[in-house]
Amino acid sequence: MSIELASGRATASADEKLIDNLRSELLIAKEMLKSIANSLTALGGQEGSLLKKYVEEVTVSKKRVELMQRDFLTYFSKIAPSLYNKEEWIGMFSKISGIIDKISGVAYRTEYLSMKSWNIPADIRGKLMEMVELLTSMLDDYIAMMNYALVNTSKALESRSRIAAAEAEMDSKYRVATFAVLEAPSLGLLALLLHDIAEMLEDVADLLNSASDDLYLITLSAR
């Protein structure tokens, strides 16, 4: 076996291991989003004890991801010299870390809301739920893109296109949610928190969209 062929196989194996790690992180992010959706539902019913449980789920999930992140960085530091796309891998890692942080931030804000006697309008809560549902769909597309990244460029591009379209849709949903909050003057300080939640959800979509660019560059290099 030639040195060049052996090097290529080692790089492919390293790429697969890095993708496996980041895919696992995003599968946990999906679990976290499910807890966020449940939290928003619990807010509508003023179910404080349930909401606390969902926030705790997010906290535990974040700790699991932090362990995976340490594993990623440890492995990356060892194999970085053999990688073709060092910047893209670190870019993906950083953006996925940002996604986890944003989702955690949403959870902590919903917990704070549960400790107040504020009445959250059902239509605004519904708009936030729509944003969470769209993010879940985007995560599914990103995970599909990961599955295709090293084996099927055209399928990876299809997933990339769906993510870009969903990100544009998320921008629209964010504007609708923001206007709904601003047009409800009776919300007072509650409006700031609701706007924060909408903005953080939209930030997750932006990060996913940007991370898909990194992944697509890695896909092209794997051809």
CATH code, domain carrying 20 = 1.20.58.220
Going from the C-alpha of 201 to that of each of 48, 49, 83, 102, 105, the distances in angstroms are: 22, 24, 32, 7, 10
What pTM value is reported for the model?
0.91
- Provide the pLDDT for residue 1: 42
Interval 58-89: pLDDT, tens? 999 999 999 999 999 999 999 999 888 999 99
Domain that holds residue 174: 3-221
Cα(216)–Cα(117) distance, rounded to whole angstroms? 46
The number of domains in the chain is 1
Total residue length of the chain: 223
- Provide the pLDDT for residue 184: 84
Residues of the chain with pLDDT below 70 are 1-12, 44-48, 223
Distance from chain centroid for Cα 27:
9
Helices (H), the chain: 3-44, 48-79, 86-114, 122-149, 153-182, 189-221
- Provide the pLDDT for residue 50: 83
- Provide the pLDDT for residue 120: 85
